[in-house]
Amino acid sequence: MTKLPRDPYTDVSIVLCGAAGQGVQTVEDILVHVLKRSGFHVFASREYMSRVRGGSNSTEIRVGSSPVRALVDRIDILLALSGGIRPNITERLDARTLILADGSEIGDEVAGLCGDFIDVPLLSMAREAGGPVYAGSAAAGIVAGLFGADPSLLNEFYEKRFGEARGSLIEGNRKAAGMGMDIASDMGAGGRLSVVMKRTAEIGERIILNGSEAVSIGAVTGGCSFIASYPMSPATGVLTFMAKHSHDFKIGVEQVEDEIAAINMALGASFGGARSMVSTSGGGLSLMAEGVSLSGIAEIPVVLHIGQRPGPGTGMATRTEQGDLNAAVFAGHGEFPRIVYAPGSLEEAFRLTFKAFNMAARYQVPVFVLTDQYFLNSFYDLPPFDLSECRLEKHITRSDEGYRRYAFSADGVSPRSVPGYGSGTVGTDSHEHEEDGHAKEDFHLRLSMTNKRLKKAGGILGESVPPVLTGPKNFETLVIGWGSTRHIVEEALASMETPALAHLHFPQVYPIPPGTREMMDRAERTIFVEGNATGQFEGLVRRETGRPASGRVLHYSGLQISVEALRRELTALLTERK
């Protein structure tokens, strides 16, 4: 029997593609859960066009015998639900790619594709099951069958997804998936294709999440009790998660008319004692800038989740980029402290979003959680989160008759109370103000209040999240990244036969954590990896530390950089230095 052409492999990369509306994302959802329950580690990342129907969307699923967490260019199996395969997929095909598609659907297009084509009758199977809508389930059945999945796992998925009230829909999906699994069995019996990979029995205890869910669970654990947002991709997933579970966790959820209303409503709720957040993208943050500044002077805590996408303007609404770091660091007029986190793993997304609520409450500042489309729409399996050290810090005091909301203090943090909690008056103002909150235009007071607010920076720095070093401690070259590049850099470096090469990942990008300059000074050369055109993080680090980079890898096509592309870029930079 012939095996997968690249066998043996510890992981297989499968790309599913099809027109928007054909259910590519549903097939992804089916496969990541069924394959994980079959004993495999899974990673999935989707890319999609900004339209409801038409065009072509795709998702990459990596199935491994060990954990997989990064995007690769390699396509071992391409399963096309329709014709019109976009260049960003066809450019990644090679002679060893197996192309599974319905010949009647893909037509003459297959002649121009690189790879080994196998005709599978997706449409006829779908029609036999009840209609074209079931083509995705037939495709899911083929892939599940190639990996030897138990048919009962597919059946259980449909029962859970559609419920008892949708009996005919469940039966149609089951039938289509069953025919797909039969096709996979015939392929194996005929010697055309089989997938041989080690299974892991312990994987059943792991969970599957995407970035939106990890951020949301971190917010819930952090005590979030109110979210106000206007839907804006790719950040909408956090809003919808919170809305879906609002009754379970007693969270107030408001889908508002625009982002200005969102930030002001969140600040109003926080003034009343709620732990508030907003979720938006770069364009929404632009509208929220005045509200961020209001948070700064009124010292009202708020958490802002920013899901980055390419700009300027509407840019590429459903694509990915790391172009809004400066927007978060400098949002709002005037000078006041803030914190910006940028998780690079789902575990970090959970921990940092949880921490964001405590830090916002403690220092009464805006705290940003910066993600991007690639991160939010990527899935993988991981152990359940450890909640043992997740303790809420409320930092709200009962007011008395002499209560002063903005009282001067050694660390710049004034006692925070909320209206009705005690006998004192809780005043606030967007103007410069006295300790009791009354507006007053006094130049000496202005100096004192500004200095009071800026004093918080010392405490914030003392609670910085340190960068994570991966690789040898005696490094010569230090590759520096932040946010969603983490797992891609880790895998690229692990595959390079370069000694003394290490990776420094920053989960906190502002303020720059103490010790950053010292780490950089230990390296002979430093290379920054970023998903933007101007090297925003490198510029920020250089501004704060005075230490320039030796080189940069900047990627800003709208798609995330792959492991292979990053490896090529790094190899070229290292070769130039020799």
| Beta bridge pairs of residue 368 | 304, 340
Q: Is residue 391 part of a domain?
A: no
Q: What integer pLDDT is reported at residue 194 of this predicted model? A: 64
Residue 539 is which amino acid? G
Judgement on whether residues 302 and 253 belong to the same structural domain of the protein: yes
pLDDT in tens, 506-530: 999 999 999 999 999 999 999 999 9
> With contact defined as beta carbons under 8 Å apart, do 565 and 531 qualify?
no
At residue 188, φ and ψ (nearest 5 deg) are -65, -45
The pLDDT, as a whole number, for residue 193 is: 65
Q: In terms of domains, do 255 and 370 share one?
A: yes
Supply the pTM of this predicted model: 0.96
Does residue 6 lie in a domain region?
Answer: no
The average pLDDT across 86-90 equals 94
Query: Which residue range(s) make up the domain with 261?
Result: 210-382
- The reply to whether 125 falls in a domain is yes
Residue 420 has pLDDT above 90, yes or no: yes
Q: What is the pLDDT of residue 76?
A: 94
The reply to whether 361 and 476 lie within a common domain is: no
Domain boundary among the residues 382, 413, 440 is at 382
Residues 320, 430 share a domain: no
Shared-domain flag, residues 241 and 137: no
Report the CATH number that the domain containing residue 541 is assigned in CATH.
Answer: 3.40.50.920
pLDDT at 2: 38
Q: What CATH code is carried by the domain that includes residue 106?
A: 3.40.920.10
Distance CA 15, CA 46 (A): 9
5 domain residue, yes or no: no
Strand ranges inside 272-377, DSSP E: 276-280, 302-308, 339-341, 366-372
Please count the structural domains in the chain: 4
Q: Locate tokens 């250089």: which residue?
A: 542
- pLDDT for 48: 87
What is the overall mean pLDDT for the chain?
94
**Shared-domain flag, residues 250 and 333:** yes
In the chain, the N- to C-terminal Cα span, in Å, equals 47
Q: Does 305 reside within a domain?
A: yes
What is the pLDDT at residue 22? 84
Q: By percentage, how much of the chain surpasses pLDDT 70?
A: 96
pLDDT digits (tens, 9 = 90+) for 325-336: 999 999 999 999
The set of residues, in sequence order, having a beta carbon less than 8 Å from that of 239 and lying 6+ positions away, is 227, 229, 231, 253, 255, 279
On whether both 569 and 434 belong to a single domain, the answer is: no
In sequence order, which residues have a C-beta less than 8 Å from that of residue 247 and are 6 or more positions away? none
Residues 371, 307: contact at Cβ < 8 Å? yes
pLDDT recorded at residue 9:
59
